[in-house]
Amino acid sequence: MVPLGARQDLVLVLFATMVTAIGAVFVWVALTARGRLEYQAVRPHGYFLRSWWFGVLLALCAFGFVVSLASLPYPAEANPTRAPALQVRVKGVQWAWLLSTDRVPAGRLIEFEVTATDVNHGFGIYSPHGVLLGQVQAMPGYVNHLFFRFPHPGVYLIRCMEYCGAEHPYMLMPLTVYQAS
Amino acid sequence: MATQPVTVPAPVRRSWALTPRSVVSICLSTSFVLIYVLGMVGGIMRANQAAVVHLPLDTFYSLLTLHGTGMIALVTLAMAAGLWYAVHDILDLRPRVLMVGFALFCLGIVLVLVATLVGGFAAGWTFLYPLPFVNTTWPAWATLAFLLGVLAVGLGFSIYCMDILTAVVGRYGGLLRGLGLDALIPALGRPGQEVAPPPVIAATMVGIDGAIGTLAGAVILIALLAHYVNPAFPIDALWAKNVTYFFGHIIANLDIYLAAGTIYAYLPTYAGREWKTNGVLALSWVGSLVFVLTAYGHHLYMDFVQPPALQFLGESTSYLASVPPAVVTIFGAVLLVYRSGIRWHVGSVLLYAGLVGWAVGGTAAELDASIPFNFVLHNTLWVVAHFHTYLLGGAFLFAIAFASHFAGEREAMSGWARAGLWLLLGGITLFLASFYVSGLEGVPRREAIQPAPGPVLSLYATAAVAVLLAGLTLVLLDVWHRARRSRAFPEEAA
Ligand code: HEM
Ligand SMILES: [Cu+2]
Ligand SMILES: [Cu+2]
């Protein structure tokens, strides 16, 4: 198995928690469904609970939205100081990646300028351990700017993330990340 | 019975008349047979990803395209027939119009079958421009057949939606009342007229969003057809992606809202409780109506050139889209079942299980709809996991539940059906778990050959598909058996 990335880990914890809660409610209601109560007796309590549930869910939505704003992958957020970054031009073609360089330094902000010439591709960055670290689409006629910092030196893998025809699974390219002096 | 003199039973009527029951039966049977076959295709794809079988790449992708397009069309067909049946009396819907919709679905599905299996069309069910036209491994006519096939299905659904909306206006004198808004704003009501019941509200919402969605579908399909005829016809890739996903998201999402209508109609019959319209319910459906239209933006998070306003609209309304179902429909259904002494039968078990699938699939969708998580989940198998949870583990289960109710559930649940339900639900759970874990492990979707640990997880999934299909066989045979009985003895049908 591939180790989970930090974000994937968080997704797993959140998902497991919520699924457990959902499962618990459904199982409990199913198990106690036999003892019959009049709906008139149940409903007022149910509606009271519902207004709380509504409030909690709305709060969760608002919380999630605000928190997500803090770690957006978009250029303005990923490079807030507008510091100069090392630029790498990326072009996706059926079925290869054309990069202006295949060696980049670790720890520095890299700006990938990603586009495609034929169909849509997806520029996905995998760690040497096989963890998906992030991605951006490669679309004909557009250039997407991805600011990215490689945490460690090593051989990373660029993998196509958007179905682009028969050879899509083989659209791979190694990217060497070296220790910057 | 026993005291009556023995009489020779009258021969079963063989002639086929266009009645609500007969048209709905034919929609359901067609849809289930084909879903079963496409489920087997799904199992073959999983086996290929497990390297148990070795399909040529282009064959794999033709099957993927067929599976995705076909399943969406067929689950829509089954659920549309179910909701139609639930409201046809109140709205006075004509079986002939449903039959026209059904015929267009069939035409479309045949075209898609020919395009993918004979022609080898393989641009995926999203046929994202410019993939259907560039360096294709299939002849041009296959692209044409596929686009026309999707157009036919869209037209069929559009006719269905327009028919419902016309009937709602005829019966309630306006769409706002069809949405039950007079329960919220009494001034809107008409004297002496009852508020629309929940299934009608669901049908009205589906009618409106379905009409808008199929219109968008027509726009992109006609643009692609124009490009097909004249390759100089310019199409912008970002525009095409927006319109395609606006259309695709609405159609796939509406399956579950169609299903909600049947939950309102049939869960109460098992629980012995009434589900009435009130202001909260009406308001929640207005919410769903809007959010289903605006949430599609989450498909374009990884297009950094997309205007930020659309990204934030997509994220916020994707979150909000969870509120009406979670607070009103799913919560309401659980409350309806709570200590109701519910009668468990195939129908009620599957309605209840489908609610779990809806809730869990929705949760997984919300995580993926968070932009920072989407950065590492987009186009991985996590996406496939979440939509199979609410389509296979939700909408499809609701469709079988409806069929079982429709077939008649007077006698107690058979042992075969019970075993079938365990296998079906257990198989689905294991099958989905494999997709979820693969997604977290970074295995991309739509890969005939997957990176590790995809193949191992695909192997578990292949076994799970066998269990799932075994269970499905038992459940469908049980439903079919009961349907035949109730045709021979119509007075026994529910
Ligand atoms: C027996 C049940 C099913 C099995 C075994 C199955 C299996 C699969 C598999 C293996 C894939 C390819 C995943 C990948 O991208 O690698 C897939 C894709 C898909 N499935 Fe299913 N599936 C089943 C039921 C359903 C149902 C009920 C629907 C309902 C609408 C559905 C809709 C789709 C769609 C839309 C895709 C995406 C197609 C594409 O990427 O173009 N599936 N399924
Ligand atoms: Cu590619
Ligand atoms: Cu690709």
* pLDDT score for A180: 84
- Residues A92, A64, single domain; the answer is no
The angle that helices B198-229 and B57-91 make with each other, rounded to 10 degrees, is 140
Between the CA of B448 and the centroid of ligand 2 the distance, in Å, is 14
Say if residue B130 is preceded by a cis peptide, omega within 30 of 0: yes
Class of domain B20-487: mainly alpha
- Are B237 and A4 an interchain contact pair (Cβ–Cβ within 8 Å)? no
Query: Domain boundary at A36, A69, A102, which?
Result: A69
Instruction: Name which residue sits closest to atom 11 of ligand 1, judged by CA.
Output: B42
- Are A142 and B379 an interchain contact pair (Cβ–Cβ within 8 Å)? no
- Residues A44, A97, single domain; the answer is no
B58 to chain A, any CB pair closer than 8 A? The answer is: yes
Ranges of residues in chain A whose predicted pLDDT is under 50: none
CATH code of the domain containing A156: 2.60.40.420
CB A158 within 8 A of CB A97: yes
B453 to chain A, any CB pair closer than 8 A? The answer is: yes
- Nearest to B26, CA basis, from B92, B85, B113: B85
Alpha-carbon distances of B128 from A35, A119, B243, B245, rounded to whole Å: 53, 9, 10, 9
Query: Domain boundary at A21, A38, A69, which?
Result: A69
Written as six digits, the tokens of B96 are 């002939």
Residues from chain B contacting residue A132 (CB–CB below 8 Å): 376, 380, 442
* Residue of B135, B302, B342 with shortest CB distance to A137: B302
Closest residue of A to B443, CA-based? Answer: A132
* pLDDT score for B494: 42
Cα–Cα distance, B356 to B351 (Å, whole number): 9
Q: Give rounded-to-5 percent helix, strand, coil for chain B.
A: 75, 0, 25
Cα–Cα distance, B62 to B55 (Å, whole number): 11
DSSP state of B444: B
This prediction's pTM: 0.95
- Nearest to A41, CA basis, from B188, B369, B409, B338: B338
* pLDDT score for A3: 86
- Nearest to B289, CA basis, from B264, B325, B265: B325
Residues from chain B contacting residue A65 (CB–CB below 8 Å): 315-316, 319
- Residues A92, A173, single domain; the answer is yes
Residue A29 lies in a domain: yes
- Are B131 and A33 an interchain contact pair (Cβ–Cβ within 8 Å)? no
> How confident is the model over A125-175, as pLDDT tens digits?
999 999 999 999 999 999 999 999 999 999 999 999 999 999 999 999 999
pLDDT along chain B (494 residues), means of 10: 52 70 95 98 98 97 98 97 96 96 98 98 96 94 98 98 97 95 92 93 98 97 96 96 97 94 96 94 97 96 96 96 95 96 96 98 97 98 98 97 95 95 98 98 97 96 98 97 78 44
B444 to chain A, any CB pair closer than 8 A? The answer is: yes
Residues from chain B contacting residue A64 (CB–CB below 8 Å): 319, 366, 370
* pLDDT score for B2: 44
B138 to chain A, any CB pair closer than 8 A? The answer is: no
Q: What angle do CA B380, B252, A50 make, to 5 degrees?
A: 95
Ligand 1 binding site (Cβ under 6 Å of any ligand atom): B 39, 42-43, 45-46, 64-65, 67-68, 71-72, 75, 124-125, 384, 388, 391-392, 396, 445-447, 465, 468
Closest residue of A to B320, CA-based? Answer: A61
* Residue of A11, A64, A166 with shortest CB distance to B377: A11
- Residues A90, A161, single domain; the answer is yes
Between the CA of B309 and the centroid of ligand 3 the distance, in Å, is 28
Q: What are φ and ψ of residue B181, in 5° steps?
A: -70, -15
Residue A152 lies in a domain: yes
- Residues A65, A140, single domain; the answer is no
SS3 string, B5-37, reads CCCCCCCCCCCCCCCHHHHHHHHHHHHHHHHHH
Cα–Cα distance, B67 to B124 (Å, whole number): 9
- Nearest to B448, CA basis, from B440, B460, B458: B458
Pocket test for ligand 1, best of B67, B429, B465 (most atoms within 8 A of CB): B67
* Residue of A72, A165, A168 with shortest CB distance to B371: A72
Residue A110 lies in a domain: yes
> How many CB atoms sit inside 10 A of residue B351's CB?
27
Burial class of residue A40 in the structure, from the number of CB atoms within 10 Å of its CB (0-12 exposed, 13-18 middle, 19+ buried)? exposed
Domain encompassing residue A58: 4-69
* pLDDT score for A85: 84
Q: What is the mean pLDDT of chain A?
A: 95
- Residues A64, A90, single domain; the answer is no
Between the CA of A105 and the centroid of ligand 3 the distance, in Å, is 26
B234 to chain A, any CB pair closer than 8 A? The answer is: no
- Are A118 and B304 an interchain contact pair (Cβ–Cβ within 8 Å)? no
* pLDDT score for B93: 96
- Residues A134, A168, single domain; the answer is yes
Residues from chain B contacting residue A163 (CB–CB below 8 Å): 61, 124, 131, 445-446
Cα–Cα distance, A58 to B253 (Å, whole number): 21
**Which chain B residues in 158-197 lie under 8 Å from chain A, judged by CB atoms?**
none
* Residue of A8, A61, A120 with shortest CB distance to B131: A120
Q: Which atom of ligand 1 is nearest to the CA of B472?
A: 1
Cα–Cα distance, A175 to B35 (Å, whole number): 43
CB B272 within 8 A of CB B341: yes
* pLDDT score for B278: 93
Shortest distance, CA A16 to any CA of chain B (angstroms): 10
Residue A169 lies in a domain: yes
> Domain count of chain A?
2
- Residues A92, A127, single domain; the answer is yes
* pLDDT score for B485: 84
Q: Which atom of ligand 1 is nearest to the CA of B391?
A: 29
Helix (H, G, I), strand (E, B) or coil at A166: coil
* Residue of A11, A35, A145 with shortest CB distance to B440: A11
- Are B137 and A165 an interchain contact pair (Cβ–Cβ within 8 Å)? yes
